[in-house]
Amino acid sequence: MKRLAVLTSGGDCSGMNATIRAVVRAGLANNIEVVGIQKGYQGVLDRNYQLLTTKSVSGKLQLGGTFLQSARCREMLTEPGQRLAAENLQGLGIEGLVVIGGDGSHRGAQTLRQRGIPVIAIPASIDNDIPFTDMSLGVDTALNNIIHAVDCLKDTASSHDRTFVVETMGRNCGYLALAAAVASGAEYALVPELPFDIDQICTALRRRYQEGRDNSILMVAEGAGKAVEIADQIKDRIGFETRIMVLGHYQRGGSPSTFDRLLAARFGVAAVEALLAGESGKMLGLRCGSLVLTDLEETIAAGRKPLDPGLLKLSQTLGI
């Protein structure tokens, strides 16, 4: 192998830059040129790329986001777009491709594999909903961001006898909200996977107040409801002073945690090693501390990873 490429696609997350760095260093260590594709699959179609060197990735490890940038690309959903992407990569002499992203990015990777491009995918999604991996890139940093915000919020909540409703990302998956509730000591976690009764929540909040516990934190995944609407319902039912905090894209950014930096290094080096070993059409995953390869056909067919039953049981035991 003389030349490989790396791209980031879909939503950004912390740890992507560290992964690119690892791919570049692993490639150069094996005397392979590494091409960085700008703006994901759109960059493949536009032939928007740059040769990456150790200087290119110097000082990038600790930065959030992706210096190669990312973009949605509807053309990759079409047969002509997929054909052009494969032709462009072949024209550039690309003998292996590393795709860093979520489910949609992996679907694009699979179409390229079917057109003869050797490809290895790396799971990157703060929702942690990609199957066949215990943790995806960026999840740990996003959780740390949430916990920092909630810890600060608890200070003011306790000072003013307030209930705060904190909205996290998670349109279809409540992992962030549930894990953050456990880690921050929140009273409730509302997630899209499970129904909830606002009247029961209000009754419990009133009981807490009568017991002398006069502040509360409710974590809400965006797919379970809007923070402002839930806060209004609580205020209307029991009259508590209620405030909201919508964390939004704050969760995606920031310097990657130590865990994400180490995971990024492992993913990046393993991706290059897998391509050199002749592997293709597979996703790297972290399973019980070890890196494993799973066929992209299998990961795509599995759909969204269900909410961790162990985490759910833990939250219930803790009274969340």
Report the catalytic residues: 127
Asked whether the beta carbons of 22 and 269 are under 8 A apart, the reply is yes
Q: What is the dihedral of CA 113, 56, 103, 265, to 10 degrees?
A: 100
Residues 301, 191: Cα–Cα separation, whole Å: 24
Residues 6+ apart with CB under 8 A from 189: 174, 177, 178, 180, 181, 182, 218, 219, 220, 221, 315, 320
Strands lying side by side in the sheet with 188-190? 188-190, 216-221, 163-168, 242-246
| Number of other residues whose CB lies within 10 A of the CB of residue 275 | 25
**Sheet architecture: strand order including 33-37:** 49-52, 33-37, 3-8, 97-101, 119-123, 282-287, 290-295
Torsion of CA 158, 159, 160, 165, to 10 degrees: -40
List the structure tokens of 251: 């969760």
> Do residues 150 and 165 make contact, with C-beta atoms less than 8 angstroms apart?
no
- Would you say 96 and 75 are in contact if contact means Cβ atoms under 8 Å apart? no
